[in-house]
């Protein structure tokens, strides 16, 4: 069994925040696989289903971002999952908007949701880093992250979440580089490629 975790803050006030793109990606996976209903579990909401012949629990913590590890830790303990069986989808200010990178372990780069998860289950879980970009002025980063996506951003946000959902089976199979490349090529085909991105697609 694997645990797919989307990071975000609960409630309609935060639904459109850039910080909530992890929620959006995991919700898109559930829609694509027609998984329902979401039920209150593990201090959040969760739904189970099969992807690529593997049983998956999709979890949206309801603990607010800074305490995400409480929900993840409870689910991991219940199913006796180690960190290697957990995939966390989260916003990443150090990636250009609409870019996706996958890595295992590493630092938390100031992301309080990741910091909380690492405190509860260790560091060697998989992260699907979803780029939201950042302003040039460092002091504006919190406002950027907690602000809603602009109207002209929603086209790529929705397209990217759909593409992530289309290719989720590759993550289940451990084909992380293939997942990155499929997402990149699909977004390029949809007209959302960014030539400024020079990070190798196969990087971890």
pLDDT at residue 194, rounded to an integer? 60
pLDDT at residue 198, rounded to an integer? 43
pLDDT at residue 109, rounded to an integer? 75
pLDDT at residue 48, rounded to an integer? 97
Domains of the chain: 2-189 (3.40.50.1470)
Helices 176-189 & 154-166 angle (0-180, nearest 10): 140
pLDDT, tens digit, for every residue of 55-75? 999 999 999 999 999 999 999
pLDDT at residue 196, rounded to an integer? 39
Average pLDDT of the chain, as a whole number: 93
- Catalytic residue of the set 19, 90, 111, 184: 19
pLDDT at residue 19, rounded to an integer? 96
Using 50, 70 and 90 to split pLDDT, how confident is the model at 156?
very high
19 is catalytic: yes
Distances (CA, A) of 55 to 16, 51, 177, 195: 29, 7, 22, 37
């Amino acid at each position: 069994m694997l645990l797919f975790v989307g990071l975000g803050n609960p409630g309609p006030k935060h639904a459109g925040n850039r910080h909530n793109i992890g929620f959006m990606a995991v919700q898109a996976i559930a829609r694509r696989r027609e998984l329902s209903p979401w039920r209150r579990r593990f201090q959040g909401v969760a739904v189970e289903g099969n992807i690529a012949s593997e049983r998956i629990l999709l979890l949206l913590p309801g603990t607010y971002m800074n305490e995400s590890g409480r929900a993840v830790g409870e689910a991991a303990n219940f199913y006796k999952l180690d960190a290697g069986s957990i995939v966390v989808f989260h916003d990443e200010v150090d990636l250009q908007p609409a870019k996706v990178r996958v890595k295992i372990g590493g630092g938390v780069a100031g992301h309080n949701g990741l910091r909380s998860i690492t405190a509860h289950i260790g560091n060697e879980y998989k992260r699907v880093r979803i780029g939201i970009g950042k302003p040039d002025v460092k002091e504006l980063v919190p406002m950027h992250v907690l602000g809603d996506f602009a109207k002209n951003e929603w086209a790529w946000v929705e397209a990217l979440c759909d593409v992530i959902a289309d290719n989720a089976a590759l993550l289940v199979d451990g084909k992380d580089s293939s997942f990155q490349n499929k997402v990149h090529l699909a977004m390029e085909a949809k007209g959302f490629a960014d030539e400024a991105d020079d990070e190798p697609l196969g990087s971890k």
